[in-house]
Amino acid sequence: MLVLTRKPRQQIMIGDNIIVNVVEVQGDNVRIAIEAPREVKIYRGEIYRAIQEENKNAASPLHGLDLSQLPKNESQ
């Protein structure tokens, strides 16, 4: 992890095409603006984690399924 100290109107470059601008600092709040190509997805951390959890749940078709409730196949 890289930790940087920046002041308002200063930037951080990520690669050649992502720019993080420090817009404003007020107490514990920092406002940033991110310039990135449209194909780069940008999410707040808590939103990203929620999306990952939903994707994980959606990929588990047996999640919460009680197989004991299914009828038994009598021909076996």
**Residue 72 is assigned to a structural domain of this protein:** no
Write down the pLDDT at residue 52: 95
Write down the pLDDT at residue 62: 65
Its domain, for residue 2, covers 1-58
Model confidence at 73, pLDDT cuts 50, 70, 90, reads confident
**Residue 64 is assigned to a structural domain of this protein:** no
Total domain count, the chain: 1
Q: How many CB atoms sit inside 10 A of residue 36's CB?
A: 14
Cα dihedral angle (51, 25, 36, 40), rounded to 10 degrees?
-10
CA separation for the pair 26, 62 (Å, rounded): 47
pTM here is 0.68
| pLDDT digit string, tens, across residues 3-55 | 999 999 999 999 999 999 999 999 999 999 999 999 999 999 999 999 999 99
